[in-house]
Amino acid sequence: MSAVPSGPETNEFAMFRVLVTDNLSKAGLRILQEAPGIEVDDRGGQKLSADQLREALSQADGVIVRSGYKLTSEILKDQKRLKAIVRAGVGVDNIDLPAATREGIVVMNTPAGNTTSTAEHTIAMMLALSRNIAPACAALKAGKWDRKSFTGTQLAGKTLAVIGLGRIGLAVARRAVGLEMKVLGFDPFLSAERAAQEGVELHRDLDEILRKCDFLTVHTPLTSETEGLINADRIAQMKKGVRIINCARGGIVDEQALAEALASGHVAGAALDVFTEEPPPADSPLVKSPQVLVTPHLGASTDEAQELVAVEAAEILTGFLLRNEVRHAVNMAPISAAEMGEMQIYLDLGLRLGLLLSQLNKGGVKGARLVFRGDAATKKTRLIASAFAAGLLSSALSENVNIVNAELLAHERGIEITESLSTEVGDFSTLVAATVLTDQGELTAAGTIFGKQFLRLVRLDQFQLDAYLDGLLLLYRHIDRPGVIGYIGTIFGKHQVNIAHMALGRLKNEPGGESIAVLNLDNAPSPEALAEVSRNDAVQGVQLVRLPPAGAPLPWLVCR
């Protein structure tokens, strides 16, 4: 694992380069340009080819994208320098998330910036649809005064089904309640108490809610689970005369099924701001239908939303590059700058345990168990587990392994990592124990934190000890009898190898049994020195382990 490159040297203060692929508001660009240690490569307004985009990304530490480009697996492959993608908007369907994760690139979005604008556009579309605003306007501009043809329906007293009660879905629900609509909501993660606070009647059965609504609006991300969520079968369950609004993502509503339901008269109308293909084909039946109100993906197209999204994207990326902050991540656990300050020592502990066991292991890895006790159990253990997995896999893979992709790479190799937590304090106020299941048995190592910065190895297999968990370690398995420790000291003295620290663990707290000594060395012994040490008949095994020096930065954090 290599540290993040320091960036171009054209400016002595420039350490990280940020690529901006699409037009970004001046307020967002200003944040990037004024941030110390950031150089901006602004390509907004240009149309980059796939090769040009790939080349620009290869020179960037982070990138801000909108919807103008698709970051495919081909474009993201082997992007060694790129560490973060920020989508200036909510939807990340133009970013290949599995590919980004595999490359160890964290992907973040800006969910708050366009919430109000998209919610308002949804309500505007629903109002315009219910009152036939667009066709009535067109008719009057064409010189026709026709009131009868454009009789609409009021929203007050009608039932609105909101599918997806995230930020935007809840914002739509609040406004619909203000319009005196009955609001039903479907969301598998929102609590009934939270929904009730917003005046929403929460349902866990999607099909049940569909049968009850007069209007339907969708506000979910586009995923493999939500693509075609509103399909022909579900539309058939709805009331005759239902109206459907989609200002979220094209593809959530099956366009062909919707077109057929409109043609049959089962659906009275639809309002669409998004399409499966954008722009949609000129001969699209939905675009041509007089029953359909369409806009060209304008949900976030307000001056306020454009500025808020740009500012949020710039703040998220500068926070990541300058403070190791991970906000609104969609492919890893988010972590604030304050949390990262507390978590770094735990991530370092997890990494070093993984590196240690990786080097001790001589067989294939089947799985791993992590136990968190005391203070460690109160932290974001998933991140610590990812750090451990990065260390465990680092010596076995040529790929760049980091905290973003380690879990995925382990899973692909059939290595399942389980966790157990206990806040009870034992011999140590905090403890992380890792057991690796291999073809040849189990290996266990446990570590703790002394003070706020000192890492200690306190268990190795069945041996209890107290060793420094950094630098060059020599593991010296032997029978505990007089003269053995002196023997290794004499040999290393002869070969000019300095022992900085030594810890001894005995299987039984008495002489004569199996023991292990962990020696922290200032310099590496020669093969001749190791061979000479191994000749003693009390010695059962000698192995060198290389760990980062004390205080070394985590290799996959961007550090100034």
Point out the residues that are catalytic: 249, 278, 297
Cis peptide before 279 (omega within 30 of 0): yes
CA distance 400 to 96: 18
Collect all residues with Cβ–Cβ distance below 8 Å to 308 and sequence separation of at least 6.
112, 113, 114
Q: Element (H or E) spanning 51, and its range?
A: helix 50-58
Q: Element (H or E) spanning 269, and its range?
A: strand 267-272
Question: With contact defined as beta carbons under 8 Å apart, do 17 and 558 qualify?
Answer: no
Q: Which residues of 413-440 are buried (b: 16+ CB within 10 A; e: fewer)?
A: eebebeeeeeeeeeebebbbbbbbbbee
Q: Which residues of 534-556 are buried (b: 16+ CB within 10 A; e: fewer)?
A: eebeebeebeebebbeeeeebbb
Length of the chain counted residue by residue: 560
Using CA of residue 379, residue 380, residue 384, residue 385, what is the dihedral sign?
positive
Of 428, 443, 430, whose CA–CA distance to 355 is shortest? Answer: 443
Hunting for tokens 């190795």 — which residue is that? 460
Residue 553 token pair: 């930065």
> What are the backbone angles phi and psi of residue 246, rounded to the nearest 5°?
-135, 105
Q: How remote is the C-alpha of 45 from its chain's centroid?
A: 29
> What are the backbone angles phi and psi of residue 258, rounded to the nearest 5°?
-65, -45
